[in-house]
Amino acid sequence: MGFQQLLLVASLPLMALSKTPDSFQLYAYGQALGGLPLFNADGYAYVGDASLSNSSSAAPVTFSGGSDNTWFGAPNTTDLGNSTTPDWSNVTLFVPGSSSSDRRVGFLSSNSSDGDVVTSGFIFYGSTAMLLADDGDVESLWFGAPVGNTGVYEMYWNSTDSSHVPIALRSVAPTSANTERRRK
């Protein structure tokens, strides 16, 4: 095998890594989750219907990508079921760092910083949101914890709680059949 062929074969796994779209939303898929939209409520990430949140600032997030695979979010108020306007914009998605005791996923405003959090390295493998770790591993350690019987899930990263369900976050919106099934 020649050098060029070897280089091509070695790069095949990386070819599945996709360029971050200019603008995108994220949807949660998993056991009994057919594409719930990700939303921000009071600085934390949730999936489900934002209008079911007790927070007046809850809204689905529309993301844009930064230069170091940092994802910035702004509220998508198009489909909000209430008349309130979220009090946040230009927030940065984060997952907890390895030594953080709080495993919740959330958002940092431009003028805040939090202890042990990871705000860069977010990539797409196809249309699935992943984290490219410092050691080169590609990780998808998203989990959801049900918030009562609301159909809303609080987002966690690398959770060991047995009541949390694994989630795949994707940039692909659900089909209308999945949306109708979720509402029933």
Predicted pLDDT at 29: 97
Per-residue pLDDT, 102: 93
Q: How far apart are CA 150 and CA 35, in angstroms?
A: 15
Short-list 110, 113, 25, CA closest to 62: 25
* DSSP string across 129-140: EEEE-TTS-EE-
Count Cα atoms within 13 angstroms, Cβ side, for 39: 27
- pLDDT given at position 66: 77
CATH number assigned to the domain covering 16-183:
2.80.10
What is the pLDDT, as a whole number, of residue 41?
95
pTM of the model: 0.84
CA end-to-end span of the chain, whole Å? 56
CB atoms within 10 A of CB 56: 13
**Residue 39 is encoded by which pair of tokens?**
């939303």
pLDDT of residue 31: 87
Residue 6 has a pLDDT of: 36
Amino acid at 68: D
139 by Cβ neighbours in 10 Å (0-12 / 13-18 / 19+) ranks as middle
For residue 36, what pLDDT is reported?
96
Residuewise pLDDT in 10s, the chain (184 residues): 443 433 333 444 554 566 777 899 999 999 888 999 999 999 999 999 998 988 888 999 999 987 789 999 999 877 666 556 788 999 999 999 988 999 999 999 876 666 789 999 999 999 999 999 888 899 999 999 999 999 999 999 999 899 999 999 999 999 865 444 444 4
